């Protein structure tokens, strides 16, 4: 697919519709955490439906929002992650965190990705993924990985990854609450 050179430029990448994909800035953190919680609410609802109260509550104490907010803060501020933010009208509407040389040498991993629900279905996740993949290539990675769930809440994410040519590696994780 041919793209305008400005769309894949390293650093700040302007894209159609007033969207800009740029490196994370410390001032983005609160907005990124807030949008991630809105974006992942249906995902966590779906996981709750699949797991049931007992296992879901045990895995997400004190609550999923607090745990996820901490995970996003840690990932966005870690020296081991590179982070890109999708910005519209000066405010973050999506983000992706990338780990380089993760799991294997020269393997890049999209560790987290989310788009504010008000901006979903506009190609922003794809633009974040494109930017993440370009960054990995520029850093010498030759394989990329991204993980997601098999539950209905993760369906839109799977569709993006499949459209980008990722190959799903089937796997099953079984959980049982011990008495």
Alpha carbon distance, N-terminus to C-terminus of the chain = 54
Per residue in 130-162, pLDDT (tens digit) is 999 999 999 999 999 999 988 888 888 999 999
- Averaged pLDDT, 106-128: 95
Q: Residue 170: phi, psi to the nearest 5?
A: -60, 145
Structure confidence at residue 17 as a pLDDT band (50, 70, 90): low
Q: Residue 171 has what pLDDT?
A: 84
Helix (H) or strand (E) segment spanning residue 107: strand 107-115
List pLDDT tens digits, range 92-116: 999 999 999 999 999 999 999 999 9
Instruction: Give the domain ranges of the chain.
Output: 19-163
| pTM, entire model | 0.85
* Superfamily per CATH, domain 19-163: Gcn5-related N-acetyltransferase (GNAT) (3.40.630.30)
* 2: pLDDT strictly greater than 60: no
Query: Is 86 in a helix, a strand, or coil?
Result: strand
Residue 173: per-residue pLDDT: 83
The mean per-residue pLDDT over the stretch 68-83 comes to 97
Q: pLDDT at position 12, please?
A: 40
Write down the mean pLDDT value for the chain: 88
pLDDT at 137: 97
Q: Is the pLDDT of residue 10 over 70?
A: no
The answer to whether residues 83 and 97 touch, using CB atoms and an 8 Å cutoff, is yes
Confidence check: pLDDT of 15 > 50: no
d(CA 141, CA 62) in angstroms, rounded, equals: 37
Contact 25, 85 (CB under 8 A): yes
């Amino acid at each position: 697919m041919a793209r305008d050179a400005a769309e894949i430029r390293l650093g700040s990448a302007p894209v159609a519709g007033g969207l800009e994909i740029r490196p994370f800035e410390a001032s983005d953190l609160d907005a990124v955490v807030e949008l991630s919680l809105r974006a992942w609410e249906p995902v966590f609802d779906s996981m709750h439906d699949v797991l049931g109260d007992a296992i879901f509550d045990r895995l997400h104490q004190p609550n999923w929002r607090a745990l996820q907010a901490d995970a996003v803060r840690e990932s966005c501020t870690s020296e081991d992650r590179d982070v890109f933010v999708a910005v519209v009208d000066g405010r973050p509407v999506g983000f992706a965190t990338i780990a380089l040389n993760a799991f294997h040498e020269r393997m890049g991993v999209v560790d987290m990705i989310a788009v504010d629900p008000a901006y979903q279905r506009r190609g922003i996740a794809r633009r974040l993924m494109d930017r993440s993949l370009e960054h990995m290539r520029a850093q010498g990675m030759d394989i990329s990985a991204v993980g997601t769930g098999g539950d209905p809440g993760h369906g839109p994410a799977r569709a993006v990854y499949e459209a980008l040519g990722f190959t799903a590696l089937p796997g099953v994780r079984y959980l049982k609450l011990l008495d």
